[in-house]
């Protein structure tokens, strides 16, 4: 009897691992588990990073001159301290948020519902907000477009009103994901694995690498954008006696929208400019000037940051994001760059792309 080659015997196992990973990712999207998945990855990577930093500090304190080998495991003490830090940090941040801005934290959905209503009214009153010499150039059909946009915004505001404070449950779910990720980072790796477990480990490792490259970079871009926007709204505008309503909501929106490449940045810029127009044309021009000065090419930069790591063109990334949004809703916008980048990495690893 002729024995089948090893490659032929392992092929069903590899195919099974692909099917299981694809099914798991689809289940995450269909059941709304994306925040939990992202927090699992964040908890895992953050724990590993803190463990390396703490381990390096312990080595310096003990005056160990020999550097650790690349990929060498960190000490149990470093892993335990890192996991504890990652699990306790969100509790400390939430305690600080509740002490400093309790009303905003509890009533976040109400704040954004009011913000959408406010933007809808501003769109309907566009001719009144603009200077007369500019308003006369608006086409007659613009009024109907204004009503359509305002109706859409108010429909979204109504949807937010139904959520109430249920988003706090989402925060709890995300925190559980963070705990799972941190515990997985400190768990002892199995010395031997069955063929299917070994292939699944490869798939998960590649997904984790993709997350670290794409989402982590986008996180820092969003944080930097939020920092600049906060300085502009809280310090620069008040110097000119100009203040925007719903400033805390706008700053939070900047960070959340900034996690979505290209589209999120454009959306945030439009919202801030429209809210500025509700105050005065001068405020709108100041907001627009700031956004042009700071973010004039940011959608291209974001696409290049993501695209350079995944070999994705701008049009390719946009197409994937819009298709994912049509199928899975807003969560698809967040998941599309990560999932598509992972798919391309798998194809490259298999020498198919």
In the block, which residue shows the tokens 């309790």? 102
Tell me the per-residue pLDDT of 26-56, one tens digit each, with 9 for 90 and over. Answer: 999 998 888 889 899 989 988 998 888 888 8
User: Per-residue confidence at 19, pLDDT binned at 50, 70, 90?
Assistant: very high
Task: Decide which of 338 and 109 is more confident.
Answer: 338
What does the pLDDT read at residue 2?
Answer: 44
Q: How far is the C-alpha of 99 from the C-alpha of 103, rounded, in Å?
A: 10
What does the pLDDT read at residue 237?
Answer: 87
At residue 283, does pLDDT exceed 80? yes
What does the pLDDT read at residue 136?
Answer: 60
Q: Which of 165, 169, 205, 203 is nearest to 184 (CA)?
A: 205
Exposed/middle/buried for 257, CB within 10 Å: 0-12, 13-18, 19+?
Answer: buried
User: Stretch 171-198: mean pLDDT, rounded?
Assistant: 84
Q: Map residue 5 onto helix, strand or coil.
A: coil
At residue 3, does pLDDT exceed 50? no
At residue 236, does pLDDT exceed 80? yes
Tell me the per-residue pLDDT of 189-208, one tens digit each, with 9 for 90 and over. Answer: 767 778 888 889 899 989 98
At residue 226, does pLDDT exceed 80? yes
pTM for the full predicted model:
0.71
Tokens coding 28: 């995450």
Tokens coding 55: 């381990």
User: Per-residue confidence at 111, pLDDT binned at 50, 70, 90?
Assistant: low
Q: Which of 41, 51, 57 is nearest to 82 (CA)?
A: 51
Q: What is the mean pLDDT of the chain?
A: 76
User: Stretch 276-280: mean pLDDT, rounded?
Assistant: 83
Tell me the per-residue pLDDT of 298-323, one tens digit each, with 9 for 90 and over. Answer: 555 555 555 555 566 777 877 888 88
What does the pLDDT read at residue 20?
Answer: 94
What does the pLDDT read at residue 134?
Answer: 58
Alpha carbon of residue 169 to chain centroid: 19
């Amino acid at each position: 009897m002729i024995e089948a080659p090893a490659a032929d015997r392992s092929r069903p196992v590899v195919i099974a691992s692909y099917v299981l990973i694809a099914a798991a990712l689809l289940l995450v999207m269909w059941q709304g588990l994306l925040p939990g998945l992202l927090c699992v990855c964040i908890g895992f990577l953050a724990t590993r990073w803190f463990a390396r930093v703490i381990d390096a500090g312990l080595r310096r304190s003990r005056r160990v001159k020999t550097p650790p080998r690349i990929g060498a495991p960190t000490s149990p003490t470093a892993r335990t301290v890192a996991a504890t830090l990652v699990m306790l940090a969100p509790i400390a941040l939430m305690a600080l948020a509740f002490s400093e801005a309790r009303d905003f934290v509890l009533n976040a959905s109400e704040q954004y519902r009011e913000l959408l209503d406010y933007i809808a009214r501003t769109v309907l009153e566009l001719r009144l907000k603009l200077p007369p010499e500019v308003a006369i150039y608006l086409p007659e059909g613009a009024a109907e477009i204004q009503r359509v946009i305002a109706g859409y915004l108010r429909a979204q505001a109504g949807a937010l009103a139904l959520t109430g404070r249920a988003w706090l449950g989402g925060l709890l779910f995300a925190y559980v994901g963070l705990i799972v990720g941190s515990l997985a980072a400190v768990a002892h790796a199995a010395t031997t694995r069955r063929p299917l477990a070994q292939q699944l480990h490869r798939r998960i490792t590649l997904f984790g690498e993709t997350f670290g490259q794409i989402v982590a970079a986008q996180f820092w871009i969003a944080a930097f954008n939020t920092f600049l926007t906060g300085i502009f709204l809280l310090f620069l505008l008040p110097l000119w006696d100009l203040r925007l309503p719903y400033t805390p909501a706008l700053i939070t929106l900047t960070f959340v929208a900034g996690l979505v490449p290209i589209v999120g940045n454009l959306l945030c810029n439009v919202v801030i400019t429209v809210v500025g127009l509700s105050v005065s044309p001068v405020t709108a021009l100041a907001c627009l000037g700031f956004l042009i000065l700071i973010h004039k090419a940011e959608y291209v930069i974001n696409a290049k940051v993501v695209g350079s790591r995944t070999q994705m063109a701008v049009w390719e990334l946009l197409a994937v994001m819009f298709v994912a949004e049509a199928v899975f809703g807003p969560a698809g916008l967040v998941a599309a760059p990560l999932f598509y980048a992972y798919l391309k990495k798998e194809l490259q690893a298999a020498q198919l792309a």
